[in-house]
Amino acid sequence: MAATAKAEDDMSWSEVAALGLRYGKYPLALLLVEAFYWFLTEPSDTLAPLQVVEAWMWHGITEMIWGADAVSLSQHNGWTTRIDFHHSSFPGTFDSVGLYVSDECAGVHEMIFLSTLILITDDVPQRDRLRAVAVGCVLVFILNLARLVAFYPLALGGCLEAPNDPACLNDMWAFHRHVYEWGFLVVLIGLWLAWFTWVGGPRRVKDRSMAGRDRWRITPRKAWAWSEHRPVWQQPVMGAALALILLLSAVYMVRNDPAALDARATAEMCAFSELVSQRCADAQNTWDDAIAGAWSVASLGLLSLVASAFVFERPLPDGRWPSMLDDEERKALEDAAKEEE
């Protein structure tokens, strides 16, 4: 009897799989958004408008605190994202330190990371999660801007102690490296833990089949079958098909496009022969544009694939979510819908 009771209490393989999927979705979701961000920012200055805004604010705050002579704003790769610090103690001929706001410095990576953690947190109403995402992104933007503003006093402090010595900038670069490698990660996880504790933490348990106060939600898609109750453009397989088309188009742009291949051959010939000419520069620019365009199209394909893997749903009149119904309940609802038609 004891052995039988113990066997009945054991988890089935389906329950083990469901439990693994529930907790495994966190690293899986983070890996997916990391892949999307990598595709998105592989071409340089993908987030140029935001980079320009941050550079402008960085320049304005630094100028307001340390004076107009301390900093200047100029262009980098055609975008107004370059910041130059000025002081007589800085190393170099022009007594300046040049930096620029890259797509990695824009803070979008951190915003996506924190937003993903919040959105995939179970047992929290959808509206609360979206509100937390908005607040979290604002906090990340402010923290990232504060990080940029901190560069000038760090550089100035080191160079006042060792004027015109390139090593006087080591404190600034060390700060940048530590924040980039692990500092922001600690802050983001801390923000998520603080929010998770504030909303109730592990004590917040509810019946996942019921909507509660939520009027809508976005949840992973469970049914991919073709449904006659949806128009063609709303079929889930259409999103996957669009993603495949975009990914194949991206491959074509760098593997089969004649103009891109000619530009690549010319650029490689110029690099091998160490030639410097306008023709070589134009070829390199054309090839770079082809690569950047391919990455952008591939990013859209990945986004389409991710979007098709989720479904927007509203609760049924009895309060249950449509995605939580089993096959028999779903079939009964479809039959009822046919009868009403």
Residues 214-229 pLDDT 10s: 666 667 776 666 666 6
State the average pLDDT for the chain: 80
Number of domains the chain is built from: 2
- 49 and 144, same domain (yes or no): yes
Alpha helices, DSSP H, located in the chain: 2-9, 13-41, 48-66, 108-119, 126-149, 151-161, 170-178, 184-198, 236-255, 258-273, 278-308, 327-340
Of the listed ranges 47-51, 113-117, 189-193, 324-328, the one predicted with least confidence: 324-328
Contact 118, 192 (CB under 8 A): yes
pLDDT the model gives residue 209? 47
* Band of pLDDT at residue 102, cut at 50, 70 and 90: confident
pLDDT the model gives residue 89? 93
- 35 and 79, same domain (yes or no): yes
Q: 100 - beta bridge partners?
A: 82
pLDDT the model gives residue 229? 62
Q: Is residue 207 part of a domain?
A: no
- 117 and 263, same domain (yes or no): no
End-to-end Cα spacing for the chain: 54
- 62 and 181, same domain (yes or no): yes
Of the listed ranges 38-52, 139-153, 284-298, the one predicted with least confidence: 38-52
Over 80: is that where the pLDDT of 174 sits?
yes
- 314 and 237, same domain (yes or no): yes
What 3-state DSSP class applies to 179?
helix
Q: Which of 167, 200, 233 is the last residue of a domain?
A: 200
Global confidence as pTM: 0.66
- 221 and 193, same domain (yes or no): no
Contact 221, 236 (CB under 8 A): yes
Which range of residues forms the domain containing residue 333?
Answer: 217-341
- 257 and 129, same domain (yes or no): no
- 137 and 270, same domain (yes or no): no
